[in-house]
Structure 1
């Protein structure tokens, strides 16, 4: 709980797509074990909504600070210093409803990934599909399955390998387990996917849930 009391200032900045994806891949190759992040669905800034994310040592690693409602047309994922990593924007598709597009940093011209509701009736566990905008981009497609509303879902790559998991955070005490509820949960990220990209997908799922909460709840049952 000490980590939740940490406060840091925000100083956003920006730049290019392919070089950052190479950087992401280099980071992935150096990480050999799963990383467990604690995600707090709350901004450190007064009168803001958003996310505050800590690593297993209690260090602040990511943050999101939104003014106004939870459902925004654009959300920026930042590192601990306030440097933009990804922008997640809500976009309308032709006659296909909305999808959430992940851009590099604060770029608006080179989309990386599209996150949209998975509508097939064959797999009722499917929550959303994540697809790259261009085959040349060095990232995989992903499928989110389970229930984001219940903080119980997994991400699988196009080979069917589980690369990340959202699960409720619990702490064991002498009197049993303590559940932190919906606003504090864990994001377990395997070496096959970068932590900031996994967090970007989590934000897209959260925005999807905020835009149509009743539908998301029905998918969760």
Structure 2
């Protein structure tokens, strides 16, 4: 109950009806303006870990509910009704950095994107590389720069265009600004990238860099 009350202070319209946000490759629903999402690193369900994501109007749009028991071999991003949108899995391999794979829905055979932790002393600002898993994929390549742990990083495409940004959420008050800390932040998504994919990349980044990981930590293929 306390968690619910805390979230209503972030966005009051907790019970607002959600809208049918996106389809993974539907170009017909292309947005004309940036969407500002509020990401809460907590599930609304009791005894669960995960994410709860709201749009600028306070409508619930994405959620991750990872139960304490049962299968934990994947992280599933769902819409507000619980429909699986993406599955994010860690690929176990012999390398210096983490490698996460994003699948469409609950599919386990056709990966969409590869998210690899960037390990380089020459490019210290680069955090991760995001590439389509197959050359024929319509998805673009991206690079993540900045610090996810500081909630200050950008996602840019292969043309150098900033298509998404992670930043701290602050609310202005009469006595000054209120910072919600690391567990509540904003994800600004430009029209050039699908919001669902952007949130999937955020989940992969969270698993790569979080100081207190609480979702799954391994998956082998």
TM-score above 0.5: yes
* Distance (Å, rounded) in 1 between the aligned partners of 2:100 and 2:211: 11
Q: State whether structure 2 residue 157 is matched by structure 1 residue 154.
A: no
Q: What is the alpha-carbon root mean square deviation over aligned residues? A: 2.1
1:136-186 Cα deviation digits (max 9, x unpaired): 111101111111101110000011100000000000011110000001000
Paired residue for 1:6? 14
Q: What are the ranges of 5 or more consecutive residues in structure 2 without an aligned counterpart?
A: 1-6, 17-22, 214-221
- Moved beyond 3 Å, runs of 4+: 3-8, 94-98, 210-213
Tell whether the 8 Å contact from 1:78 to 1:85 is kept in structure 2 after alignment. Answer: yes
* Distance (Å, rounded) in 2 between the aligned partners of 1:140 and 1:41: 27
Tell whether the 8 Å contact from 1:21 to 1:138 is kept in structure 2 after alignment. Answer: no
Paired residue for 1:26? 28
Q: CA deviation at 1:125?
A: 0.7
Paired residue for 2:62? 62
* Distance (Å, rounded) in 1 between the aligned partners of 2:116 and 2:40: 23
* Distance (Å, rounded) in 1 between the aligned partners of 2:138 and 2:210: 30
Paired residue for 1:122? 122
Instruction: Give SS of 2:207's match.
Output: helix
Counting helix residues as a fraction of each chain, which structure ranks higher? 1
TM-score normalized by the length of structure 2? 0.83
Paired residue for 1:36? 36
1:26-47 Cα deviation digits (max 9, x unpaired): 33x2x01000000011101001
1:75-107 Cα deviation digits (max 9, x unpaired): 000000000000000111355554110000000
* Distance (Å, rounded) in 1 between the aligned partners of 2:96 and 2:59: 40
* Distance (Å, rounded) in 1 between the aligned partners of 2:98 and 2:54: 30
